[in-house]
Every structure is written in structure tokens, then in C-alpha cells.
Amino acid sequence: MPENTTPDSALHPADNIAYPDPAARRRGGTEKIAPHVIVLFGATGDLAQRKLLPGLAYLSVSDLTPDIEVVGTSLEDMTTEQFREFAKTAIDKYGTHKLSAEQWAEFSQRLHYVPSSAGPQALADVVHKAEFDLGPKARLLHYLSVPPKAASAVLTMLKDAGLVENSRVVMEKPFGTDLASAIALNDEVHETFDESQIFRIDHFLGKEAALNILAFRFANGLFEPIWNRNFIDHVQIDIPESLGLDQRASFYEPTGAYRDMVVTHLFQVLAFVAMEPPTALEPKSISEEKNKVFRSMEVIRPHEVVRGQYQGYRSEKGVARDSDTETFIALRVRIDNWRWAGIPFYLRTGKKMAEGMRIISIAFKEAPKSMFPAGSGVDAMGPDHLTFDLADEAKISLSFYGKRPGPGMKLDKLSMQFSTSETDAADDVLEAYERLIMDAMRGDHTLFTSAEGIESLWQVSQPLLDNPPPVKPYPQGTWGPNAVHQLIAPHAWRLPFERVWRTKP
């Protein structure tokens, strides 16, 4: 038998057996990111202006990543200098992390532009020059910030330009519009890229609060034992938006709230809430547990769905006057597995609603018998809730009954709250796109959706897509059609809150 060369520190003290270094299995580990050329398709679009260019600028000047070169390409016919001015305006207007003059001067020299009309060879020339500048270890990351219908043309350009090898590709949602189109798109992408090269992005999962769900569930022995049908009554995932179309009618009209938000965002968040513990905090294990949730979901029943359309939508520019597109949707989701059998998940999202919020609310079952006298306040304010706020400033709240100070037995609903703004690391919070771009450069699929996962979601969605209930009008600035209350009865929606989040003094 060959001599065991494993360091003593990696040996179990009791049996002297060598085990893998746990650090090697941790997400991200100590793996270094190679220098990257990031080819940004749709570089002059709304997403690029608001999120991608500011995020890339911050990553480039931070210590989080090695050298980055950005090659933008789009339909607009502009020069590299004009693109740099375009990027500076976007970063100044939308960037969370502001750049100094010196930082901008450094980043601007890493920005290049090739109009798509110049053709594949022109793009390849600029990319190869950027690769040469970064050195022999440089990798390629293609970010397709384009509508789904334009993805095919981009894939063709990448093949014609010879830019597929040693590269990865990030694809924006929605990934298909139904099961057939998702399968067709997956097949088309797989003709060019292997599944290991593909990163289907959902920026909700890049938020600090979404990752906190994993930490909260699986790092705390207090909550994992009660995270099941025996103790949880129901779950709400509520993502109302106060904004309207924001000049996106051409995208939104054929898409609607279900395809835009539920399949691509809310179902992904649901998977984090409902998944079984992964064997390790690494991409393959987490992806498999998410896919198990999707496979366990029962088909969406149209009679358990409320579709709505805000009043005035049909008067918006680019919207058909007889449009049946939903700007609001609420639904009941059932997961047919051992942990969640019989427990409903209620999902709601919409445009032009009363507030813009992003919450997950876990409602615990109430005590089986109350010993408290009538008028004590018990049962007056609903069950105990654990609430996650998915806003950029992650917050968690646990509500419970407690005795009101003074004589007698009067109970009030109290809460314990946590916010990342209260920690010493508050300034380290990354924007969702910044985190996800870093993960894609690293090759980490943990927060991305697989081909199997997206096809499973379209499969359970098909009955609703085939027979959608009619849209119900709702006034702008409200919480949706009144039918949402019948959908969730005998429960009640957590939003609007009767309380406010505690703020840091």
C-alpha cells in the first residue's frame, strides 16, 4: 500500500481516515477567477444602462475580480469613444457604487464597442485583441442582454466569429414562452454551447436576502426541524410593483406577468424556500434539490389563478386596445412531496400596485388549544410569521404573541427583526447582477437555472397557458382585483403590513 501523503490536519482524529478538505467544497472556495473578456450583446439597452455597465464598472475597479475587458455590441452604430460616453452617463445615473475620476479613467480604457452591423469578423478581431492584452489565461463570457427572439442571431454570430471555445454564456429571461419553445430554445443553444457553459440568469437569486434563506434554513438548528407541513400553515411569496410598463410594451404585451415574473423569478425563490437540504453548498447539489422541487410541483390549476389588468393598460402606447395580457397574477401552488403535502404556497405579483415590495412570509400553525381568556388578544392578529424582505437591504422578521405590560393577561403581536444595514459588513453588499456576473466568470451554477428546471416549470404551467382565466380590472395603486382575497381564504395576505420595519437610528 502506498504511503499516505495526506497532511495530518486533514485526517479525522479518531480513525485516521483522510477526508476531503471542507474548504474545497464551499461555494466559491479559494478558486481564483481568471481574467475575462466580457462580450455584452445589447450593450445600449435598458438593462445594460441600469445594471450591467454600472455593475461591470464596480467589479473592474474593485478587488473582487481580476482584469476585465468589456466589448459591447448592439444595433446602434457608434464608435468606441461614443460608447464610453454612453457608459459614463449610465454609470453616473444608475450606479450604486460611484466611481472617482481616476477609477472611471481606468475603466473607460477597458471599454470597446463593435456595432453588430460590422459582422462576426470585426467582433472577433476586437475580442481577440482584448484577450491578448489580458494574457494567455483569459476567458470569454458572453452576456446576451437581448430579447429571446434575438438569441438565435447572437448564437449564430458567436459561431461565425469562432468565439464559442473557452467561453461561457449568460442568457436573460424569459427562457421560452411555453414548454415547446423552451425545449426548442434549449436544443438550439445546446447546438452551440454545452450545458456547463450556459448560465440562465435570475437576478432575484443574486440578492443578499435570497442567499440568506439558505443560511437561515440550513445553518440554524432552531428552524430546520419545524420547516415542514407539521408546523407551517402556508407560505406567501409577494412581489408587487408600483411601476408600470416603463416603455417596455413591446416586450410586455406578448409576455405578461406570469411569464415575466412567476416562471422566471417567483418559482425560483419558491425553490429556495421548499428545497431539501443539499448534500453540500455547491452548484450540482443545490441545482438538483431545486429541480426536485420543480418536479414535485403539481400542475397549475386555472381555477386557482387570478389574472388582473390595471385600468388604463389598454391605453398605453404599444398595447392592443382589446389586450388580454395580465399585468397582475396571483396563484396557489401545491408541492406533492413528503415535506410539503397539503401546504399551499400563494404567489402574487403585478404592475401599478400600491407599493413595490418583495417579501416571503412563512405562516406557522397556531397553537392547537388556547388557554387564554376571551379578549386577551390571542387569535386576533393571525398566526406567527417569519418574514424575509428581498429588497437590496435584506431584512428578516419573526412575529409572535407576547404579554402586554401591566395588570391582566393582554397579548400583543411583537417582532424580532434583523437587517444587513445593522451589521459591520453593510457596505459589502453586492448588487444582484454584480454577484451573478462574478459567479458566471467563476463557473458557479448555484444561483442559475438548468435546462431541466426551466422545462419542468413550463410543463406545470401548460394548463394555465392553455386555458387562462379572463383578466379582471383593478384600479392603479391598489393590491389587485378583489378576487385575490377569495383565492387565499381563509388566510389573509400579509401585504399591506400593519406594521413597519424598524430602521437603524
3-state secondary structure of 176: coil
Cα(137)–Cα(151) distance, rounded to whole angstroms?
28
Q: Kindly state the cell numbers that stand for 365.
A: 400553525
- The reply, when asked if residue 173 is annotated as ligand binding, is yes
Give yes or no for a contact between 309 and 471, defined as CB atoms under 8 angstroms apart. yes
Q: Residue 351 annotated as binding?
A: yes
Q: Is residue 97 annotated as part of the catalytic site, yes or no?
A: no
**In degrees, to the nearest 5, what angle opens at C-alpha 50 toward C-alphas 49 and 52?**
70
User: What CA dihedral angle connects 314, 316, 317 and 320, to 10 degrees?
Assistant: -10
Look up cell 454612453; give the residue: 86
Strand partners, 309: 473
E strand spans, 221-336: 232-240, 305-310, 328-334
- What are the distances in angstroms from CA 178 to CA 22, 296, 333, 436, 451? 41, 19, 18, 25, 13
Grid coordinates standing for 201? 440568469
Kindly tell me the sign of the dihedral angle through the C-alpha atoms of 270, 271, 276, 278. negative
Catalytic residue selected from 142, 265, 385, 445: 265
Is the peptide bond between 120 and the residue preceding it cis, with omega within 30 degrees of 0?
A: no
Q: Is 241 annotated as a binding residue?
A: yes
**Does 365 show up as a binding residue in the annotation?**
no
| Distance in angstroms (rounded) separating the CA atoms of residues 228 and 318 | 46
- SS3 (DSSP) at 92: helix
Q: Which residues are annotated as a binding site for substrate?
A: 203, 207, 241, 260, 351
User: So which residues are the catalytic ones?
Assistant: 265
Pick out the residues of the known binding site for NADP(+).
173
Annotated binding site: 173, 203, 207, 241, 260, 351
